[in-house]
């Protein structure tokens, strides 16, 4: 297709700002689109924790400072750029002392969402939509990611209809997680700078007496997608998977699709990962054993090996946000028992306090068997993907999931629940094409039964290596996903030409 100008509006962008997979995806998708010839301009907030010097982020001198309204007040804004403002992929950061110059992406140091979250989203959206005009750069596509960047799509629809924005600016919303909808009191419409009428039926924002940005985005965007075909089907199937928006989504069925994320194998490749104590690849897994031994030693885990140096039971890894979504509650009741049987566990994550506390208690009780690292640590995450034998991801729901893709590439068969993107990416034992282990019902007993199947397969060394090798050979290719986004962009543009406001 002819090259497009894509304005990418996002709150996370790896490695600058990342809480979970969203940051990996906005960065890898932008790079894949640029590699395919498109011009991509990313706009994210200049968060206080960003080390401008180390990241080569500087003020964009050619643009003046300006004052933009958010939350009923004018705020001083400056645009910054990362590296040289040249090339097909350029990253812009919006400086605003009032709203962004503090550490944190969504939450403050107390773990609670920022009280001025709506103002932050409003300012980010305004600053993003203004950029094409300031740069005299016609945007073909305005691509927003999750509820927090929906304001940009709303402003495009409500303020810039037919004027002000150079280029057609067809809007695309990617839903990375339907559970985070940004629901706020109706009065917050004003902080967004939108008429109060939008907060009452049939306004775009109205949601049971409050406002809901995800809902508004679903209604307003020219095209929308989520990050796996499986999750796309689930979210229109009923209120639970659809988080109360299944009918809204079903109403836009024609415009809604699922596009599987890719994995960025430039960062996630055990054959040349600089963060590992030893590299390895399929055909020679010797380095993986060294990674495992180093991980056991690092985390103080004691393990029994047979005379071939093989563990009696596998070392299980978990890397992820410790939140209800990730199925941590399914793991908690059975880990001690499995540890007693010889399994070992390396757990890295932060999140809900109740889950952090429960895992911390378990690790204290099971010292030497269960290790818990309660921090965000990119390098340790790599060492766990490489050093574990199996990777646990028993999520209750999972829009796509990247961790299981990384685990597959690192030769650590994932244990997953049959849901969303996990079901789309892992083939369960005993299928001849199996790449991991899959269970159905969200019950600890079912996870336990699955780990008993792991135990059995583990005992058969050759079968285990075949399982690893099949997973390592898979590629979830960003180039393929980027072509699917091109189709979505083309449909969004065609819809706009067809007269959508
Ligand atoms: P989600 O986006 O729901 O968190 P994904 O599987 O898509 O789930 O992506 C999670 C990403 O965040 C992966 O890159 C994973 O390695 C990373 N991650 C999560 N928690 C941590 C942590 N505590 N330390 C390092 N990386 C983490
Ligand atoms: C969300 C989802 C996760 C997905 C990621 C990137 O955080 O929870 O499943 O992989 O976004 O799209």
What tokens appear for 154 in the block? 């709303």
Query: Which pair of structure tokens corresponds to residue 351?
Result: 């999140």
Q: Which of 408, 460, 456 is CA-nearest to residue 434?
A: 408
pLDDT tens-place string over residues 67-91: 999 998 999 999 999 998 889 999 9
Which tokens go with 268?
């996630």
What does the pLDDT average to over 449-478? 97
Q: Where are the alpha helices (DSSP H) in 343-377?
A: 353-365
Ramachandran quadrant class, 64 (left: phi over 0; alpha: psi -120 to 50; beta: rest): beta
Domains of the chain, each with CATH number or no CATH: 5-262+479-498 (3.40.50.2000), 286-475 (3.40.50.2000)
Q: Report the distance separating Cα 106 and Cα 96, nearest Å.
A: 15
CA of 228 to the centre of ligand 2 (A): 10
What is the C-alpha separation between 171 and 254, in angstroms, rounded? 15
Question: Tens of pLDDT along 245-271?
Answer: 999 999 999 999 999 999 999 999 999
Pocket test for ligand 2, best of 261, 264, 417 (most atoms within 8 A of CB): 261
Please give the Cα distance from 419 to 394 (Å, whole number): 9
Q: What is the pLDDT of residues 364-391, one digit of tens each?
A: 999 999 999 999 999 999 999 999 999 9
Beta bridge partners of residue 17, listed in sequence order: 13
What is the CA(177)–ligand 2 centre distance, in A? 6
The number of residues in the chain equals 501
Structure confidence at residue 197 (pLDDT) = 92
* Residue list, ligand 2 pocket, CB within 6 Å: 20-22, 25, 176-177, 227, 261, 398-402, 421
The strands making up 315-319's β-sheet, listed across from edge to edge, are 370-373, 344-348, 315-319, 390-393, 414-417, 437-439
Ligand in closest contact with the CA of 18? 1
Instruction: Tell me how far the alpha carbon of residue 23 lies from the centroid of ligand 2, in angstroms.
Output: 9
Inter-residue contact 448 to 428 (CB < 8 Å): no
For residue 398, give the ligand nearest its CA.
2
225 SS3 class: strand
pLDDT score recorded for residue 500: 63
Tell me: pLDDT of 232 over 60. yes
Give dist(CA 291, CA 134) in Å, integer: 50
Count of H helices and E strands in the chain?
17, 19
Mean per-residue pLDDT of the chain? 96
Nearest CA to ligand 2 atom 12: 176
Rounded CA-CA distance 89/77 in Å is 22
Q: What is the average pLDDT across 145-151?
A: 98
Tokens matching residue 51: 């080390």
Residues 6+ apart with CB under 8 A from 354: none
As a whole number of angstroms, the distance between CA 187 and CA 309 comes to 64
Q: Is the peptide bond before 15 cis (omega within 30 degrees of 0)?
A: yes
pLDDT digits (tens, 9 = 90+) for 337-348: 999 999 999 999
Ligand 1 atom nearest 348 alpha carbon: 23
Residue 501 pLDDT > 60: no
């Amino acid at each position: 297709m002819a090259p497009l100008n894509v304005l990418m509006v996002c709150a996370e962008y790896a490695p600058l700002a990342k809480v979970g997979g969203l940051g990996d995806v906005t960065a890898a998708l932008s790079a894949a689109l640029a590699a395919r010839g498109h011009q991509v301009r990313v706009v994210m907030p200049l968060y206080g924790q960003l080390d401008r010097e180390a990241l080569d982020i500087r003020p964009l001198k050619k643009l003046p400072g300006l004052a933009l309204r958010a939350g009923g007040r004018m705020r001083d804004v400056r645009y910054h750029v990362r590296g040289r403002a040249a090339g097909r992929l350029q990253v812009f950061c919006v400086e605003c002392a009032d709203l962004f110059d503090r550490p944190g992406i969504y939450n403050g140091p107390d773990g609670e969402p920022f009280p001025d979250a709506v103002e932050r989203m409003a300012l980010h959206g305004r600053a993003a939509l203004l950029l094409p005009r300031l740069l005299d750069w016609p945007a073909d596509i305005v691509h927003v990611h999750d509820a927090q960047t929906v304001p940009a799509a709303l402003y495009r629809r409500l303020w810039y209809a037919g004027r002000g924005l150079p280029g057609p600016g067809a809007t695309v919303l990617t839903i990375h997680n339907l559970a985070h909808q940004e629901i706020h009191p109706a009065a917050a419409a004003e902080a967004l700078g939108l008429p109060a009428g939008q907060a009452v039926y049939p306004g775009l924002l109205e949601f049971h007496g409050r406002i809901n940005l995800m809902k508004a985005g679903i209604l307003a965007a020219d095209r929308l997608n989520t990050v796996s075909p499986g999750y796309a089907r689930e979210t229109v199937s009923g209120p639970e998977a659809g988080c109360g928006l299944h009918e809204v989504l079903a109403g836009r069925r024609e415009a809604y699709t699922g596009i599987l994320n890719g994995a960025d194998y430039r960062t996630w490749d055990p054959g040349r990962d600089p963060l590992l104590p030893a590299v390895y690849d399929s055909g020679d897994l010797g380095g993986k054993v060294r990674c495992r031994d180093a991980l056991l030693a690092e985390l103080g885990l004691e393990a029994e090996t047979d005379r071939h140096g093989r563990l009696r039971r596998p070392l299980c890894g978990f890397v992820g946000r410790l939140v209800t979504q990730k199925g941590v509650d399914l793991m908690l009741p059975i880990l001690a028992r499995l540890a007693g049987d010889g399994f070992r566990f390396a757990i890295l994550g932060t999140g809900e306090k109740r889950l952090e506390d429960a895992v911390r208690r378990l690790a204290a009780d099971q010292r030497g068997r269960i290790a818990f690292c309660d921090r965000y640590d990119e390098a340790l995450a790599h060492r766990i993907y490489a050093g574990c034998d199996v990777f646990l991801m028993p999520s209750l729901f999972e829009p796509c999931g990247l961790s299981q893709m990384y685990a597959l590439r690192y030769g650590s068969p994932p244990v997953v629940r049959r849901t969303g993107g996990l079901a789309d990416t892992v083939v369960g034992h005993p299928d001849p094409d199996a790449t991991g282990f899959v269970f159905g019902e969200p019950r600890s007993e079912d996870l336990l039964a699955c780990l008993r199947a792991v135990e059995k397969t583990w005992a058969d060394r050759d079968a285990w290596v075949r399982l690893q090798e099949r997973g390592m050979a898979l590629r979830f290719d960003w180039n393929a996903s980027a072509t699917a986004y091109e189709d979505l962009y083309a449909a969004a543009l065609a819809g706009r030409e067809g007269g959508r406001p």
